[in-house]
Amino acid sequence: MRFLDSVKALYAAVIILCLTVGLDSYVNMRNEAMHARHLEISTGLERMVRLNQELTGMLVIAALEQSTLRTASYDSLNSELEAVIQTVTVLTSKQNLSQEIAALSEGRAHLHAIEQKAMELMRADKWEQARATLSEDTYVLARKTYEIDSDTAVGAVTGELAATAQRFGRIRNATFGVRIGAMVLLVWVGVLFSRRTRADLAEQVRLRDELAAANEELEERVRKRTEELSAANRMLEATQHKIVQSIHYARIIQTSMLPDQELRDANLGEHLVIYRPKDIVGGDFYYLRQYPDHFLLAVIDCTGHGIPGAFMTMTVNSVLNRVVDLTCNNDPSRILSELNRVLQQTLKMREVDAGLDIALCLVERTSGRLVYAGAGLSLFAVVGGELREIRGDRQRVGYKGSRLDFSYVNHELRLAPGDACYLTSDGILDHAGGAKGYGFGTERFMAMLAAHAGLPMPEQAQRFEQILCDYQGDYPQRDDVTLIGFRF
């Protein structure tokens, strides 16, 4: 390289170093500003949730106690809440949170309209009508929707903050690499300058010395790089450990919503449960609610598995509890129709096309009556020694294409002591195995039930687990598996 070219390279390296240092400072400044903005947004969202809870609680207590004094600060609190909403809207105007904040604003406007109506009734001493207004499904659903939208907005803020931090991290890594390149270029140019000041003999000696120094430097760099990689691997292992711990904790949370042993024993009597998610958490769950003269039992297969499926199970469990608490608990067909409507309404707000398959039974032990309705899943019943499959409707629940006017069919059975019923998700029927990896299938499943229906339920569970394990062989489990059986 000519001397002039060496000078140009030196200048280029210095300029690159200066630019990378300036860029790194700018990225740090922007990152700190972005963190501060997200903190302000998160604080605003928390104030919105707290103020909304105070407003709704104030109105409900005022209506119950028939006291207008409790509503004296409603207007000031509502004005404060609207100011906070406006502030959060301004803060998020340049971020990808417009849908979440707009949903919160619309939800609050809907709640405010109902609350104003209740306030007018209370001021007119129409306390019964005010309480009825605040107890209507419209107001309860609006409050629940507002709470869900609040959680969604907080999650969106957290997700955007993580994405911003990741983006800035990539920029820092890139500038660091460029800076290292510029420093190498400086060293290289320095070597070229020094070569021009020495004689041939001195040049050879210097080259030998430089070669030795370069080898030592290379070994030192290799050592440092090895240490850095080891540290990075340890950090990665620690991160993975934390993630796995978090998912295991999520499994504890998901398992806590399943019926406990005492509730199952009190209602199902002799029974079996096989519950085996594909991952640590899953999209299957089973449901049991006890009432004075009957109980409801369901197996539910939600869209997806793993963490997405687990989130769906929590949503579906909440919606189903709401339906049986507020709408109906003694008509499986109506329960499925209402579940389809409310779940579609809940998921539509988030532009999610997800849903579930379900087998739902109402059982009256005193009268021997069982009423079944299903969507995509079947009921398998051993009645009088004969095994029958009672298929549910093809219409699934909760999807965008699921018809809201669809009426699910109730199937009624009369059971006698010794009869048995089984509910399963499609995880068993699609269980891969055998010589070619085909699914386990309905025919093989029914043959398994018929062959072991006379055994005690706990022994049936052991046999079924062994049969499925033998059939699976070396094939991986590809879906969540849930099976519940009980003897009448």
Pair 423, 325 in one domain: yes
Question: In the chain, what percentage of residues exceed pLDDT 90?
Answer: 37
449 vs 432: CA distance, rounded Å:
18
Residue 439 · residue 432 · CB < 8 Å: yes
Residue 109 neighbours by CB distance under 10 Å = 12
Q: What is the pLDDT of residues 238-257, one digit of tens each?
A: 777 777 676 776 678 777 88
Residue in this structure with the two tokens 């509730």, named with its chain if needed: 263
Per the structure, the complete domain to which residue 347 belongs is given by: 257-487
pLDDT confidence tier of residue 101, bands split at 50, 70 and 90: confident
The verdict on residue 395 lying in a domain is yes
- Indicate the range of 180-194, 326-340, 401-415 predicted with least confidence: 180-194
Q: What is the pLDDT of residues 142-174, one digit of tens each?
A: 777 777 877 776 676 677 667 666 776 777 677
Are residue 163 and residue 272 in the same domain, yes or no? Answer: no
Q: What is the β-pairing status of strands 386-390 and 379-383?
A: antiparallel
Domain end call among 170, 198, 233: 170
Dihedral angle over CA of 446, 450, 380, 469, nearest 10: -50
Give, in degrees to the nearest 5, the angle at Cα 37 between 34 and 43.
Answer: 140
Give me 253's structure tokens.
């949370």
* Strand, coil or helix: 441: coil
Tell me the average pLDDT across 320-341.
95
**CATH number of the domain to which 60 belongs:** 1.20.120
Please check whether residues 261 and 165 belong to one and the same domain: no
Angle between helices 3-65 and 127-135 (to 10 degrees): 140
Predicted confidence at residue 61, as pLDDT, reads 77
Residue 251 in any domain: the answer is no
- Same domain for 331 and 445, yes or no, is yes
Tell me, yes or no, whether 471 and 323 share the same domain: yes
Same domain, yes or no: 152 and 299: no
Q: Is-contact 413 373, C-beta < 8 A?
A: no
Among residues 153, 170, 187, the one where a domain terminates is 170
Note the pLDDT of residue 231.
Answer: 83
Report, as an integer, the average pLDDT of 122-146: 78
Q: Would 183 be classed as within a structural domain?
A: no
Give the residue-averaged pLDDT of 369-374: 97
Q: What is the pLDDT of residue 327?
A: 93
Quick one: how far is CA 268 from the chain centroid?
A: 31
Boundary of a domain, candidates 140, 170, 200: 170
Residue 208 domain-assigned (yes or no):
no
pLDDT higher at 391 or 157: 391
Which distant-in-sequence residues (6+ apart) come within 8 Å of 63 by Cβ?
118, 122, 127, 130, 131, 134
pLDDT band for position 179 (50/70/90)?
low
Confidence of residue 45 (pLDDT cuts 50, 70, 90): confident
pLDDT for the residue numbered 236? 78
Same domain? For 137 and 274 the reply is no
Token pair of 214 as six digits = 């370069």
**Does the residue 398 lie in any domain?**
yes
Q: Is 323 found in the same domain as 423?
A: yes
Q: Do the Cβ atoms of 360 and 373 come closer than 8 Å?
A: yes
| Structure-token pair, residue 321 | 């509890």
The reply to whether 239 falls in a domain is: no
Look at residue 392 in the predicted model and tell me its pLDDT. Answer: 94
Q: Which of 355, 391, 387, 354 is nearest to 372 (CA)?
A: 391
**Which pLDDT value is given to residue 350?**
58
451 vs 203 pLDDT, higher one: 451
**Is residue 5's pLDDT more than 70?**
no
Residues 37 and 135 in one domain: yes
Q: What percent of the chain has pLDDT over 70?
A: 85
Question: Is the pLDDT score of 321 beyond 70?
Answer: yes
pLDDT band at residue 98 under the 50/70/90 scheme: low
pLDDT number for residue 6:
62
CB 344 within 8 A of CB 400: yes
pLDDT, tens digit (0-9, with 9 covering 90-100), for 186-232: 677 667 666 776 677 788 888 888 888 888 888 888 888 888 888 88
Instruction: Decide if pLDDT at 302 tops 70.
Output: yes
Domain count, the chain: 2
Residue 311 and residue 457 in one domain: yes
List, in sequence order, every residue forming a beta bridge with 482; answer none if it has no partner.
275
CATH number at residue 355: 3.60.40.10
| The most confident of 93-97, 160-164, 301-305, 420-424, by mean pLDDT | 420-424
Angle CA 93–97–98, to nearest 5: 60
Query: Which SS3 state, helix, strand or coil, does residue 374 take?
Result: strand
Contacts of 104 (CB under 8 A, 6+ apart): 48, 85, 88, 146, 149, 150, 153
pLDDT tens by residue, 53-93:
777 777 777 777 766 666 666 777 777 777 877 777 777 76
Overall average pLDDT of the 278-299 stretch: 93
| Same domain assignment for residues 338 and 445 | yes
The Cα diameter of the chain in Å comes to: 111
**More confident position, 437 or 1:** 437
In this prediction, residue 224 carries a pLDDT of 86
* CA distance linking residue 185 with residue 80, whole number of Å: 59
- Residue 466's pLDDT is 95
- What mean pLDDT value characterizes the chain? 83
162 and 65 both lie in a single domain? yes
- Res 2: pLDDT: 56
d(CA 157, CA 151): 10
In a domain, 98, yes or no: yes
Name the residue with higher pLDDT: 279 or 16: 279
Residue 323 lies in a domain: yes
